[in-house]
Amino acid sequence: MSEPGKLRNYINGAYTDAADGRTTEVIDPATGEVYATAPLSAAADVDKAMAAAAVAFESWRDTTPSVRQLALLRIADAVEARARELVDVECRDTGKPRGLTAAEEIPPMVDHIRFFAGAARLLEGKSAGEYLQGTTSFVRREPVGVCAQVAPWNYPMMTAVWKFAPAIAAGNSVVLKPSDTTPASTLLLAEIVGEVLRGLGLPTGVLNVICGDRETGSLMVEHPTPAMAAITGSVRAGIQVARSAAKDVKRVHLELGGKAPVVVFEDADIAAAVEGITAAGLFNAGQDCTAATRVLVQHELHDEFLAALTKAVAATRTGHPDDPDVQYGPLNNANQLAQVAGFVQRLPAHATIETGGHQVGDKGYFYSPTVVSGLKQDDEIIQNEVFGPVITVQRFTDEEQAVAFANDAQYALASSVWTRDHARAMRMSRRLDFGCVWINTHIPLVAEMPHGGFKKSGYGKDLSAYGFEDYTRIKHVMTATAG
């Protein structure tokens, strides 16, 4: 096991240090203080993890769907049983409130693992048939091979599940790298998976976790062993992964940034909209690619809505993860704090800070819940992802302008519409150019429905049968039957 204050890579069912002994510091964002070190993995460590995954794949791909289902169900049970431990390490790495993390992340994680356990036995394809006289054809769905996966720091353990669960359910093996600022919960998940696999007599190299920085991630993607690279991260990181993967034509799965428009029409239930948008805009300190932070309000409702939203946001509390009354914790790291503060500091003269707009306290990376109004469509804070507890509010005149403003962004991951008019909601769901459109709600996700975007938000889906199928390849088999 990892020692207190010293995290280690998890390769082939065992903890191990980086080959050259190099480490990075892991900082508690609630205090700004170093609490542990983690390996800074280099080429030798990547080689070791890829070799373990490749060996495991040789037998794992030949397991039956029922065996993979059983393994995943046991993993889900083990995650549930060790929930308190997972929450402890997650909150230490991220600063998230403990109560919210236990209630809002553990149950979906367990549910998602169980969903993919079931999906392992429900691969669909075209039925066998005679499409050419004297022959019979059928389609095989097969695992793609070893998968190199990179996860972000905003939802470390949740995203780790989204990455490894569909991949191993489909018969692949995985080398996963968590963010260098949040490695602890992913390592614990790997330990849980390894213990379950070992107990079932299955290969422990099915899931390997190595720690490191961007260079480590690049080495994973460029390595000749993986057949597929999957990343959740920034647009810049996604472009780098796609460019590196193109060198040997690896498959690529990208879930990148977002700038979700939240379109509030004049007939919306204002109380419900304010409550839902406040929660969805500030959850996890706004560090969510689907966060409800770009609000567009019809002119007739704008002033009343802005006043109500400002009041609700101002009443939202940020603080230490042990405080049961806070709605969100600190930003994840010093660089992210500087980024969020920079957006607010660079606001144009025509913008108004209705509430917030400043760092909270002199310890840790806390930022106040913030509302900014008076913005124009081409303002930096409207066009670029802030990834913090900052909600912007703009006016629009009619449905045409709402659609134009909403779609005028480089990102296309998620959006929402708030209206009592069903026909309008249906029109907007068709016209909004985003991978998800919520109606009179914002941010809920379920295992059965896909999560993924268009444009610079990437391609490929997490969750759902579509996300599962992304980790398979299709093979046509034809046999002669004449004679």
Catalytically active residues, by annotation? 255, 289
- Cα gap 172→120, rounded to integer Å: 11
Contacts of 250 (CB under 8 A, 6+ apart): 221, 226, 227, 228, 229
Position of tokens 């991978």? Answer: 435
Give Cα 385 to chain centroid, integer Å: 15
- Cα gap 383→482, rounded to integer Å: 62
Tokens of 270: 């204002």
Q: Is the dihedral of CA 439, 442, 444, 448 positive or negative?
A: positive
Tokens of 83: 């929930």
- Cα gap 405→438, rounded to integer Å: 17
In the beta sheet, which residues pair with residue 473? 142
Length of the chain: 483
Contact (Cβ atoms closer than 8 angstroms) between residue 41 and residue 24: no
Extended beta strands in 318-459, E state = 352-355, 370-373, 390-396, 411-412, 414-418, 436-439, 454-455, 458-459
Contacts of 466 (CB under 8 A, 6+ apart): 450
Q: Which amino acid, residue 224?
A: P
Q: Which amino acid, residue 355?
A: T
How many CB atoms lie under 10 A from the CB of residue 324? 10
Task: Give φ, ψ of 453 to 5 degrees.
Answer: -125, -165
Helix axes 214-222, 43-60, angle to 10 degrees: 50
DSSP string, 32-72: TEEEEEEE---HHHHHHHHHHHHHHHHHHTTS-HHHHHHHH
Helix (H) or strand (E) holding 396: strand 390-396
First to last CA, the chain: 62
- Listing from the earlier edge strand, what are the strands of the sheet with 294-298? 352-355, 370-373, 390-396, 294-298, 261-264, 414-418, 436-439
